[in-house]
Amino acid sequence: QGMTVHYVLEDRDGRLNAELLAKLAPQAASSQVLLCGPPAMMAATTQLLRDQGVPAKAIITELFSY
């Protein structure tokens, strides 16, 4: 069905939380999710997605640090 990209910028949107995730991607639990970011953000976001019912096998990550 295609892909939707959501950019969440802390300065603009605040940190991603359960409320913002539900607004941006209400179907997250039944979707494949691709994440890219620094390790601490990735760990927090992965846990948030798991808490919202996204299976671990549906979360694809790419870490970077600067």
What Cα–Cα distance (Å) separates residue 62 from each residue in 2, 7, 12, 43, 59? 20, 15, 23, 11, 10
> How high is the pLDDT of residue 2?
82
> How high is the pLDDT of residue 49?
95
Q: What is the pTM assigned to this prediction?
A: 0.82
pLDDT digits (tens, 9 = 90+) for 8-61: 988 999 989 999 999 999 999 999 999 988 888 899 999 999 999 999 999 999
